[in-house]
Amino acid sequence: MLKEIVLKADVLSSGISKGTPVFLNSETICKDNKISKKDSQKEIVKFEKAIKKSTKQILEIKKSLANDSLSITFDILNTHLEILNDPIIVNEVICKIKEENKCIYTILKDIISDYKSKIKDPFFKAKVLDIEDVFKRIMTNIGAIKIDILKKMKSKSILISNEIIPSDIFESDDTHISAFISSSTSYESHSAIIARSKNIPFLTNVDIEKLKSLDFKDMIVDAKLGKVIINPSIKTFETYELLVKNTKDTLPKIKLKKNINIFANVSNQKEIEKLKSKNISGIGLLRTELLFFNNKKLPTIDEQFSVYKKIAKNLENQICIIRLFDLGGDKNFYNLDTSNNFFGSRGAEFLLKNPNILKDQITAIIKASALGNFQILIPFVKDLSEIRQIKKIALDIQARLKIPSNIKIGSMIETPIAALMADQIAHEVDFLSIGTNDLSRYTFASENISSKRLHLGMIKLFKMIIQAAKDFEKPLYLCGEILASKSILNKFIELGLSNFSVGLKQTDIFK
């Protein structure tokens, strides 16, 4: 019988988990080698192709993770896209290939090594980790390194590596990961933030080489007390089994006051099937650009109508707020925005530049409105003219179809300019919907926004929007994972909000 061993560790994400250890190793295929001046141009072409391939992969990952209601995943992937398109970083690599006559693998490795040796500030050190993560993806795409274990992991795997980076998480099936263990990861790192967001236990400051030398099959990760238990005894195993069961049975619920409505954010077709089992008032946000992410192109009118029909059947006349395709900018899922700009034209602006996409979707919604209580939500509004143009298009389509429909049209308030114009927007539409994730992100110009408290500046913006809705007697909804915090939810209720839309999984925490 193998002896039980306990190793101490630091906690990055709290929780308890058991599983089979999986060591993440990358196999280096490319050698550090010099190249001729003649071959340097070939290396540059390889590098540029790898950037395009990496960009495409990240956009695909964004699509596949889009049903994750946590904005941190999008923020990290957007940072990676910015790095891939950063002319300073790209030019530095190209210049070094030309000047030093070295292969891409060596150049990227040297640049990261140089950054790490020179940069000591914690904030910029975190940025270096992002660059290293992107470089690792590029090296994989040029065939310099090979990592194939991530997609082959079985259920209840404990991922172990010297450094866990976001791409390791994005490339794996997180339903198969029960915990992370690393030798050196900071609490503020993106991978630690993702782990906390997904409630995956994460321990660091563990001697990975020592772990590799031990003979074991199973382990328990106690990320509450900071322990890795190798070869747990029957007694230890039973103790932790009971502890995990009791933890699940006593998960805190948020008790709601009367007249408070909880709606669901729906992002994929699997979630549609689960609607009947949830105690919700309807769908507060149907992310239509994500419903069809397995498609290589945007869905036809008939394909959209089919999904809306299914929703109507499952909701039984409850409200379903359909957000028009929120595409473009950092949500360029179908590669339709050719501006190559992080901001680009997104939401309402993108739809008006692509009228066929807009008209097809509105047509499908109006056809489906005869079957259910559907409402249209205009995304990423930045100007009143966008609302007026889309309303006119909807009226024209309704007249052409000769379908009697009093379908309501609302506006997302998710940009600072929309918040400042909330009173004028409220006058134009039937309802308002606050998107807390983007509104906070663009107001702070930051990815790192506290989910535990509301900033005074944000409270001012929220008060303006709430007052505008009251003045024009328009329903107001609020969407975002920030609502999982009881204190923040109560603060919004104090401010006068009563309609909240959260991820489908989060609806279970309310009673």
Give residue-wise pLDDT tens across range 225-243: 999 999 899 899 889 888 8
For the ranges 7-11, 108-112, 144-148, 488-492, the lowest mean pLDDT is seen at: 144-148
pLDDT recorded at residue 137: 87
Question: What residue type is 70 in one-letter code?
Answer: L
**How far apart are the C-alpha atoms of 119 and 115, rounded to whole Å?**
6
CATH no. of 5-25+148-249: 3.50.30.10
Q: Give the integer Cα–Cα distance in Å for 109 and 113.
A: 6
Task: Return the CATH superfamily for domain 261-509.
Answer: Phosphoenolpyruvate-binding domains (3.20.20.60)
Q: Residue range 207-224: average pLDDT?
A: 88
What pLDDT is stored for residue 501 in this prediction?
Answer: 92
- The answer to whether 5-25+148-249 and 261-509 have equal CATH topology is no
The domain limits of the chain are: 5-25+148-249, 27-146, 261-509
Q: Residue 300 has what DSSP assignment?
A: P
Question: Residues 382, 385, 390, 395: is their CA dihedral positive or negative?
Answer: positive
| Band (489; pLDDT cuts 50, 70, 90) | confident
Whether the per-residue pLDDT at 471 is higher than 80: the answer is: yes
- The arithmetic mean of pLDDT across residues 157-185, rounded, is 81
Retrieve residue 281's tokens. 């008032």
CATH architecture of 27-146: Orthogonal Bundle (1.10)
Given a cut of 80, whether residue 109 has pLDDT beyond it is yes
Rounded to the nearest integer, the mean pLDDT of the chain is 84
Region at 185 (left for phi over 0; alpha for psi -120 to 50; beta for the rest) = beta
pLDDT score recorded for residue 180: 93
pTM as predicted: 0.65
Q: What is the pLDDT of residues 415-461, one digit of tens each?
A: 999 999 999 999 999 999 999 888 988 888 765 555 567 889 999 99
Q: Is the pLDDT of residue 386 over 90?
A: yes
Q: What's the whole-number mean pLDDT along residues 256-260?
A: 79
Assess whether pLDDT exceeds 90 at residue 364: yes
Tell me what pLDDT residue 333 has.
61
The residue among 262 and 147 whose pLDDT is bigger is 262
pLDDT of 126 over the 90 cut: no
Confidence of residue 279 (pLDDT cuts 50, 70, 90): confident
Beta bridge partners of 476: 432
Identify the three-state secondary structure at position 126: helix
Least confident of 196-210, 217-231, 245-259: 245-259
Nearest CA-CA partner of 53 in 82, 76, 84 = 84
The more confident residue out of 346 and 120 is 346
Query: What is the structure's pLDDT at 447?
Result: 57
> Which residues lie below 8 Å from residue 182, measured CB to CB, with a gap of 6+?
160, 161, 162, 163, 164, 202, 203, 204, 206, 208
